[in-house]
Structure 1
Amino acid sequence: MTEEQGKRKGLIKTPTAALKEYFGFSKFLDGQEEVISEIVSGKDGLVVMPTGGGKSLCFQIPALCFPGVTLVISPLIALMKDQVDALVTRGVSATLINSTLSWPEQKERLDGMRRGEFKLVYVAPERFRAESFLNALRDVEVSLFAIDEAHCLSQWGHDFRPDYLRLGKSLEKIGRPQCVALTATATPVVRNDIKNVLKLRQPFERVSGFSRPNLSLAITAVDKAAHKDERIRAIISAHKTGIIYCATRKKVDLVSETLASWGVKCISYHGGMSDSERVKAQEIFISKKVGIAVATNAFGMGIDRGDVRFVIHYEIPGSVEAYYQEAGRAGRDGEAAVCEMLFNYADTRTQEFFIDGANPSAAVIRQIYQYLLNEADDNHEVFRTLEDIAENADVKNTMAVGSGLTILARGGFIERFDVQGRRMRGTRLLKPDLLTRNLVLDESAIEEKDARDREKLKAMVEMCYSRSCRQQWILTYFGEEDTSPCGNCDMCRDRSAGDYRAPTAEERLMVRKALSGVARMSRRGANGWEGKFGKGRIIQMLAGSKSQEILTAKLDQLSTYGLLADKTTGYLNSLFRSLADEGLVITITGDYPLMTLSAKGERVMSGKEEFQLKWPGETAKPVGLDEKDFDPQLFGMLKDLRYKLAKQEGVPQYLIFSNKVLEALTKYLPSDAQSALTIPGIGEGKAQTYLPPFLEMIRTFQAMK
Structure 2
Amino acid sequence: MSSTEHREPLQVLKHYFGFEGFVGTQDEVVKQILQRKDGLVVMPTGGGKSLCYQLPALCLDGVALVVSPLIALMKDQVDALVARGIPATMINSTLSWAEQKERLNKMSAGDYKLVYVAPERFRAESFMSALERVNISLLAVDEAHCLSQWGHDFRPDYMRLGNVLESLGRPQCIALTATATKVVRDDILKVLALRDPFEMISGFSRPNLSLNINSVDKVSQKFTRLRKVIKEHKTGIVYCATRKRVEEVSEMLTDWGMSCIAYHGGMSDQERETTQNVFINKKADVAVATNAFGMGIDRSDVRFVVHFEIPGSVEAYYQEAGRAGRDGEASYCELLFNYADTRTQEFFIEGVNPSYKTICDVYQYMLNHADKDYQLVETLDQIKEGAGVKNGIAVGSALGVLIRHRYVERYDVPGQRAKGTRLLQPQVLTSQLAIDKNALEEKSRRDREKLDAMVRLCYSHNCRQQWILDYFGDPSGERCGDCDQCRGESSGDLRAPVGEEVTIVRKALSGVARMSRRTNEGWEGRFGRGRIVQMLMGSRSQDILRLKLDTLTTYGILQSLGTAYVNGLFRSLHDGGLIYTQKGEYPLIALTPLGDKVMRGEADFQLCWPDEKGLAEKNSSSSAGVQLEELGFDPVLFDKLKMLRNALAKSQGVKAYEVFSNKTLEQFTRLRPKTIAQGEQVRGVGGFKAERYLQHFVQAIADYEREYL
State the TM-score, normalized to the length of structure 2.
0.72
1:409 lines up with 2:403 in the alignment: yes
Aligned-partner Cα distance in 2 for 1:620–1:626 = 17
CA positional deviation for 1:53: 0.3
Question: Is this contact kept in 2: 1:622–1:678, CA < 8 A?
Answer: no
Aligned-partner Cα distance in 2 for 1:392–1:19 = 57
Aligned-partner Cα distance in 2 for 1:627–1:483 = 31
Q: What is the match of residue 42 of structure 2? A: 48
Query: Secondary structure of the equivalent of 1:71?
Result: strand
Give the counterpart of 2:194 among 179, 189, 200.
200
Give the counterpart of 2:425 among 414, 431, 434.
431
The count of residues paired between Structure 1 and Structure 2 equals 532
Question: Is this contact kept in 1: 2:306–2:333, CA < 8 A?
Answer: yes
Letter in 1 for 2:459: Y
Q: In 2 relative to 1, CA 221–344 (structure 1 residues): closer, same or farther, beyond 3 Å?
A: same
> Matches of residues 88-107 of structure 1 in structure 2 within 5 Å?
88-107=82-101
CA positional deviation for 1:421: 2.4
Q: In 2 relative to 1, CA 227–435 (structure 1 residues): closer, same or farther, beyond 3 Å?
A: same
Give the counterpart of 1:132 among 126, 132, 138.
126
Question: Is this contact kept in 2: 1:676–1:682, CA < 8 A?
Answer: no
The superposition leaves residues 270-302 of structure 1 with CA deviations (integer Å, 9 ceiling, x where unpaired) of 111111111111011111111011111111111
Letter in 1 for 2:39: G
Q: In 2 relative to 1, CA 115–697 (structure 1 residues): closer, same or farther, beyond 3 Å?
A: farther
The superposition leaves residues 456-515 of structure 1 with CA deviations (integer Å, 9 ceiling, x where unpaired) of 000000111111000100011111013210001000001399xxxxxxxxxxxxxxxxxx
Q: What is the match of residue 685 of structure 1? A: 580
Query: Secondary structure of the equivalent of 1:166?
Result: helix
Query: Secondary structure of the equivalent of 2:288?
Result: strand
Q: In 2 relative to 1, CA 406–415 (structure 1 residues): closer, same or farther, beyond 3 Å?
A: same
Letter in 1 for 2:594: L
Q: Calculate percent identity across the aligned residue pairs.
A: 62
Q: What is the match of residue 492 of structure 1? A: 486
Q: What is the match of residue 305 of structure 1? A: 299
Question: Is this contact kept in 2: 1:242–1:293, CA < 8 A?
Answer: yes
Give the counterpart of 1:342 among 329, 336, 341.
336
Q: What is the match of residue 159 of structure 1? A: 153
Q: In 2 relative to 1, CA 620–432 (structure 1 residues): closer, same or farther, beyond 3 Å?
A: closer
> Matches of residues 391-410 of structure 1 in structure 2 within 5 Å?
391-410=385-404
Aligned-partner Cα distance in 1 for 2:497–2:199 = 43
Query: Secondary structure of the equivalent of 1:243?
Result: strand
Q: What is the match of residue 598 of structure 1? A: none
Q: What is the match of residue 65 of structure 1? A: 59
Question: Is this contact kept in 1: 2:354–2:398, CA < 8 A?
Answer: yes
Aligned-partner Cα distance in 1 for 2:372–2:213 = 56
Q: What is the match of residue 119 of structure 1? A: 113
Q: In 2 relative to 1, CA 178–86 (structure 1 residues): closer, same or farther, beyond 3 Å?
A: same
Aligned-partner Cα distance in 1 for 2:39–2:405 = 29
> Matches of residues 70-85 of structure 1 in structure 2 within 5 Å?
70-85=64-79
State the TM-score, normalized to the length of structure 1.
0.72
1:374 lines up with 2:368 in the alignment: yes
Q: In 2 relative to 1, CA 140–318 (structure 1 residues): closer, same or farther, beyond 3 Å?
A: same
Letter in 2 for 1:394: G
Aligned-partner Cα distance in 1 for 2:310–2:252 = 20
Give the counterpart of 1:18 among 9, 12, 17.
12
Letter in 2 for 1:685: Y
CA RMSD of superposed structures (Å): 2.3
Aligned-partner Cα distance in 1 for 2:572–2:371 = 65
Aligned-partner Cα distance in 2 for 1:150–1:259 = 35
Letter in 2 for 1:688: L
CA positional deviation for 1:422: 2.4
The superposition leaves residues 332-356 of structure 1 with CA deviations (integer Å, 9 ceiling, x where unpaired) of 1111111110111011000000000
CA positional deviation for 1:701: 7.7
1:386 lines up with 2:289 in the alignment: no
Q: What is the match of residue 620 of structure 2? A: none
Question: Is this contact kept in 2: 1:472–1:484, CA < 8 A?
Answer: yes
Q: What is the match of residue 586 of structure 2? A: none
Q: In 2 relative to 1, CA 701–307 (structure 1 residues): closer, same or farther, beyond 3 Å?
A: closer
Aligned-partner Cα distance in 2 for 1:331–1:440 = 48
CA positional deviation for 1:622: 5.2
> Matches of residues 569-580 of structure 1 in structure 2 within 5 Å?
none
Question: Is this contact kept in 1: 2:462–2:485, CA < 8 A?
Answer: yes
Query: Secondary structure of the equivalent of 1:486?
Result: coil
1:174 lines up with 2:168 in the alignment: yes
The superposition leaves residues 368-393 of structure 1 with CA deviations (integer Å, 9 ceiling, x where unpaired) of 00000011011110011111111111
Question: Is this contact kept in 1: 2:406–2:424, CA < 8 A?
Answer: yes
Runs of 5+ consecutive residues of structure 2 not aligned to the other structure:
502-520, 523-565, 582-589, 606-709
Bigger RCO of structures 1 and 2 (CA < 8 A, at least 6 apart): 1
CA positional deviation for 1:116: 1.6
Q: What is the match of residue 480 of structure 1? A: 474
Q: What is the match of residue 702 of structure 2? A: none
Question: Is this contact kept in 2: 1:72–1:148, CA < 8 A?
Answer: yes
Aligned-partner Cα distance in 2 for 1:314–1:207 = 30
Aligned-partner Cα distance in 1 for 2:570–2:364 = 53
Runs of 5+ consecutive residues of structure 1 not aligned to the other structure:
1-8, 498-618, 629-647, 650-671
CA positional deviation for 1:14: 2.1
> Matches of residues 140-539 of structure 1 in structure 2 within 5 Å?
140-495=134-489
Show structure 1 runs of 4+ deviating over 6 A: none
CA positional deviation for 1:77: 1.5
CA positional deviation for 1:697: 6.7
Q: In 2 relative to 1, CA 496–678 (structure 1 residues): closer, same or farther, beyond 3 Å?
A: closer
Question: Is this contact kept in 2: 1:155–1:449, CA < 8 A?
Answer: yes
Question: Is this contact kept in 1: 2:4–2:58, CA < 8 A?
Answer: no
The superposition leaves residues 173-228 of structure 1 with CA deviations (integer Å, 9 ceiling, x where unpaired) of 11110001001111111111111111111111111111111111111111111111
Letter in 2 for 1:336: A
Letter in 2 for 1:296: T
CA positional deviation for 1:698: 4.8
Aligned-partner Cα distance in 1 for 2:574–2:493 = 10
CA positional deviation for 1:694: 4.2
Q: In 2 relative to 1, CA 17–392 (structure 1 residues): closer, same or farther, beyond 3 Å?
A: same
Query: Secondary structure of the equivalent of 1:70?
Result: strand
Query: Secondary structure of the equivalent of 1:685?
Result: strand
Q: In 2 relative to 1, CA 318–211 (structure 1 residues): closer, same or farther, beyond 3 Å?
A: same
Q: In 2 relative to 1, CA 472–365 (structure 1 residues): closer, same or farther, beyond 3 Å?
A: same
Letter in 2 for 1:187: T
Question: Is this contact kept in 2: 1:138–1:175, CA < 8 A?
Answer: no
Query: Secondary structure of the equivalent of 1:416?
Result: strand
Letter in 1 for 2:101: K
Aligned-partner Cα distance in 2 for 1:380–1:448 = 32
Query: Secondary structure of the equivalent of 2:158?
Result: helix
Aligned-partner Cα distance in 2 for 1:216–1:151 = 25
Aligned-partner Cα distance in 1 for 2:355–2:315 = 25
